[in-house]
Amino acid sequence: MDTELAWGAGTERKRRHLFEDEHAGREAIEFILETLNRYDVPATWGIVGHLLLDECTPDSHHETERTRLVDPHSNARESPNYYMPEIVEMIDGSETGHEIAGHSFSHARFGELDRNTAAAEIDEMCEVFDSHGVELSSFIHPYISIDHCDILAEHGFTAYSLGVEESAETIKSGLFPFLTGNTRFWGAPPVTPDNDRHGLTVIPRSRQLSDERWGFLNPRRIRNTIDRGGDGVVHLTAHPHNLLYDPHLKRTFPRIVEEISRRRDAGEISVATFRELASQFR
Ligand SMILES: [Zn+2]
Ligand SMILES: [Zn+2]
């Protein structure tokens, strides 16, 4: 779950939905959490570090293009889409075993950062999570702009994610080129995690659950995906805010989670967070 709220660049549509009702982002997070907890299905929540602050001023932290562009230098009461410190307790407060992962400090595009800024993004992210009692071990690069992974390794991270496109390239050379060539419309092809040269486990994405206006996502396809998965990993990903403007996804999401829990309870699959998966691949 890539959780950035207003820190993502976003489309006009996303911004409209987030800002028409300032609490809609939080409600989307609660809806997803309640659904996952109801079926005891843990997820990996990649959270932007700045969301954990109560407030900030221009001197509170380092600057990136993102902070210069969007930081309101305000507080949680006035700008709930930029500050949501209670999110840690919301996620950690259940028995479901969710993992909290880092999604940078300010949702900066890592491929465009110099080394010092990337280090500051990772340092300040780790610090703010640490102050909430969370030790991070997994990372999701904003925009899946993968870079500076050596700094993640220095900080003891063990896993990060690849985007669907990169994953599709890997998969095209695999067993199901016809079925999986277009991940956007055809279910969610299984992927194979691997270790990079810094020793971090790289977990490709099977499918982004978003922009489902045409209804291509349905539980039957997810069932087929699981059937086809073999020993592979099916990695589904979404943003909480996707549910705000996608009624189809909002209806389908609980059915997918129910299907995952049913298969897990029947012993057909296991469900793992990034951290758990990385420990199996290292
Ligand atoms: Zn700030
Ligand atoms: Zn993001």
Kindly report the pTM of this predicted structure: 0.90
- Ligand 1 geometric centre to CA of 220 (Å): 43
* pLDDT tens string 236-265: 888 888 887 788 888 889 988 998 999 999
Dihedral of alpha carbons 26, 29, 218, 177, sign: positive
- pLDDT for 192 equals 87
Rounded to whole angstroms, the Cα distance separating 185 from 214 reads: 10
- Residue 244 Cα to ligand 1 midpoint, Å, equals 25
Listed residue (276, 274, 280, 279) closest to 236, CA to CA: 274
Mean pLDDT of the region 73-92: 95
- Closest ligand to 76 CA? 1
CA of 265 to the centre of ligand 2 (A): 31
* pLDDT value for 10: 67
| CA of 110, nearest ligand number | 2
pLDDT at 104: 98
pLDDT of residue 185: 46
C-alpha of residue 107 to centroid of ligand 2, in Å: 6
Q: What integer pLDDT is reported at residue 242 of this predicted model?
A: 82
Residues 25-75: tens digit of each pLDDT: 899 999 999 999 999 999 999 999 999 999 999 999 999 988 988 899 999
The structure tokens listed for 70 are 């969007």
Cα–Cα nearest to 126, from 83, 94, 157, 99? 157
Question: What are the tens digits of pLDDT across the range 257-267?
Answer: 998 999 999 99
- Average per-residue pLDDT for the chain: 86
Residue 189 tokens, joined: 């092809």
How far does residue 2's CA lie from ligand 2's centre (Å)?
A: 5
Ligand nearest to the CA of 60: 1
**pLDDT, average across residues 190-196:** 89
What residues have their beta carbon closer than 5 A to ion ligand 1? 56, 71
Residue 37 CA to residue 43 CA, distance in Å, equals: 10
Query: What is the set of domains in the chain, with CATH numbers?
Result: 2-281 (3.20.20.370)
Distance 243 CA to ligand 1 centre (A): 26
- Residues 152-189 have pLDDT tens digits of 999 999 999 998 765 544 444 444 434 444 444 456 77
Ligand closest to CA 107 = 2
How much distance in Å is there from the Cα of 58 to the middle of ligand 1? 7
